[in-house]
Structure 1
Amino acid sequence: MSLLYFACGIVAGLLGALLGLGGGIIITPILTLAMGLDIKYAIGASVISVIATSSGASIAYLKDDLLNLRVAMFLEIATTIGAIAGALLTGIFAPKILYIFFGALLLFSSYNMLNKIIFTKKDQLYQGPMSKTVARLKLNGSYYDKQEQRQISYELTNLVGGFSMMFGAGIASGLLGIGSGAFKVLAMDTIMKMPLKPSSATSNLMMGVTAAASATIYFFNGSIQPLIAGPIAIGVLIGAGIGTRIMPKLKARTLRMLFVPVLLYLGVQMVLKGIGWMR
């Protein structure tokens, strides 16, 4: 079983590092559906896997200048406030409606990303007027694209839209108990026009910050079992290390092709939960 947990960790870490997603969307279904593990322990292991993915990937992305630390810390404010608000609103709003709403949002986003794959050969950088707020907060950045072998500078836009999206993602996370990695990438890539590679790298750091805040609770309520979480965490660190070496060399179009099926899966899953066809 330890070897199986280890293998699951490698896959989760690899995809998590590539796409900026928490390993929970891979770890939790495998542990519960394929291995018959109690959902409580699966979620505990998932939290540890997210922290491991973030730790393993963020260091490498920081060295490669892919990670925008200022954007991560700024948007994390919205996510944290949203998560607290979501936790406080538990029981007030009907979760079914929210599941349908966020599921539909993910499906619409996957449609937009599919359009980018079909009609756009590479990332279109924002070339409009520079936002004074973005410039004041020094959120613009640049990175060296190993695939294109050139330095790419980018400017961000629609800071309010991105902040609002992150606040909504935080509410969903706190109210519905879901990971918000997909929303983080969408907020930066689709709304704020940050290229997909730095979006994924920045999302990895933010996921770890969010997971670390809840890990203590899961630890003290007994959800984190060392014999399960340990092998998964080791596998995740190895997978994340592999993912960080692969991601900078991939085309943005290839990353989107990997991301679209994940968005479709999450969107369909949330809609089905909302209409009561899935627990």
Structure 2
Amino acid sequence: MSVDLFSLITFIGSFAAGLLGALTGLGGGIVVIPLLSLLLQVDLHYAIGASLISVIATSSGAASAYVKEGITNMRIGMFLEIATTLGAVIAGAYLTNYLPKNVLGIIFGAILLFSAFMSIRKKISHEDHGPSGYWASFFKLNGSYPTAQGPSFYTVRNVIGGWFMMLFAGIMSGLLGIGSGALKVIAMDNIMRVPFKVSTTTSNFMIGVTAAASAVIYFQKGYIVPGIAAPVMLGVLLGAMLGARVLVRAQTQWLRWGFAVVVTFLAAQMIWKSLSGTV
């Protein structure tokens, strides 16, 4: 395959991945890595490196809008980012040296299946307005977000449990080159009782920082190749921008089911090829 054809296919596939990622809220990296490794036969480490660059670009663009609207909880994001960055560095600096590619493929397949489930799961708000937890008060993590009726105030619970879940999310991000948004939302929404809207926007704010920490280590190891990363980043970014516009008017429930079917198929392929040693 010529370089030009490879770049064109990579760009088109990444554009579709960014579009789907924006419409489902799970990010384009979930689709980009199987696209590169299964369809284009790119080494899994180089696919992860390219995905990390695209995650940085798309997260930075979306996060600024949510911060401006006052939905993102900056204190929670900066506090929990310590855990995710630490996890990403541990994974990038150590685990990638020892885990074989087929093991990485199986783990990635499992995360794909989990992401497919999260995309169709009914969203239940765990918002809490009761007395604040000790650590939430100590670190001043409680906050509010704007609604049509005015600011809605909330309190934060189980900060320690959320922190350790974020550590795991950072390890998965550094290991697999994805934003681990689904894991971060679970940490904030289910464990810490942060409102779902705040959880998703704060997760988006954090994803870019976590990916940047991982990308530095992947770059040092030579896993980030401009010829692969550039069309991936451009395609995912443009697809995500279009997806953000479409999302305002689109009925996304059927898209989420379609996305879940595609991702489940990719997960099965990734796990099968990993078990057979051809990934």
Could you tell me the TM-score, scaled by structure 1's length? 0.72
Q: Is the 8 A contact 2:38 2:270 kept in 1?
A: no
Shift of 1:125: 2.1
Shift of 1:211: 1.4
Q: C-alpha root-mean-square deviation of aligned residues, in Å? A: 4.5
Q: Secondary structure at the match of 1:142?
A: strand
Q: Is the 8 A contact 2:49 2:177 kept in 1?
A: no
2:133 corresponds to 1:134: no
Segments of 5+ residues of structure 1 without an aligned counterpart are: none
Distance in 1, matches of 2:33 and 2:205, equals 20
Equivalent residue, structure 2, for 1:185: 185
Distance in 2, matches of 1:47 and 1:90, equals 14
Q: Secondary structure at the match of 1:128?
A: coil
2:143 corresponds to 1:144: no
Shift of 1:244: 4.3
Equivalent residue, structure 2, for 1:231: 231
Q: Secondary structure at the match of 2:41?
A: coil
- Per-residue displacement from partner, 1:123-177 (whole Å, max 9, x unpaired)? 35213322232133232233335xx786543322121211121122234445x54
2:78 to 65, 70, 73: 73
Q: Give aligned-pair identity as a percent.
A: 46
Q: Is the 8 A contact 1:56 1:240 kept in 2?
A: no
Equivalent residue, structure 2, for 1:156: 156
Q: Is the 8 A contact 1:9 1:232 kept in 2?
A: yes
2:200 corresponds to 1:200: yes
Equivalent residue, structure 1, for 2:11: 6
Distance in 1, matches of 2:42 and 2:99, equals 30
Distance in 2, matches of 1:110 and 1:229, equals 28
2:65 to 42, 57, 60: 60
Distance in 1, matches of 2:154 and 2:258, equals 21
Pairs within 5 Å for 1:1-279 = 1=5, 2-17=7-22, 21-86=26-91, 87-88=93-94, 103=110, 110=117, 114=121, 116-117=122-123, 123-144=125-146, 151-173=151-173, 176-177=175-176, 179=178, 180-245=180-245, 261=260, 265=264, 272=271, 276=275
Distance in 2, matches of 1:163 and 1:189, equals 13
Change in 2 beyond 3 A, CA 1:59/1:91: closer
Change in 2 beyond 3 A, CA 1:197/1:7: farther
Change in 2 beyond 3 A, CA 1:150/1:14: farther
Change in 2 beyond 3 A, CA 1:226/1:240: same
Tell me whether 13-22 or 193-202 shows the greater mean CA deviation.
13-22
Q: Is the 8 A contact 2:166 2:183 kept in 1?
A: yes
Shift of 1:25: 1.3
Q: Is the 8 A contact 1:53 1:204 kept in 2?
A: no
Distance in 1, matches of 2:135 and 2:8, equals 50
Tell me whether 77-86 or 202-211 shows the greater mean CA deviation.
77-86
Change in 2 beyond 3 A, CA 1:107/1:58: closer
Distance in 1, matches of 2:133 and 2:244, equals 31
Change in 2 beyond 3 A, CA 1:269/1:167: farther
Distance in 1, matches of 2:255 and 2:151, equals 21
Q: Is the 8 A contact 1:18 1:200 kept in 2?
A: no
- Per-residue displacement from partner, 1:245-277 (whole Å, max 9, x unpaired)? 5667889x9699679939x849x669958x947
Q: Is the 8 A contact 1:162 1:192 kept in 2?
A: yes
The aligned amino acid for 1:159 is V
Q: Is the 8 A contact 1:14 1:239 kept in 2?
A: yes
Shift of 1:29: 0.6
Q: Is the 8 A contact 1:32 1:42 kept in 2?
A: yes
Distance in 1, matches of 2:173 and 2:209, equals 13
Change in 2 beyond 3 A, CA 1:85/1:211: closer
Shift of 1:26: 1.0
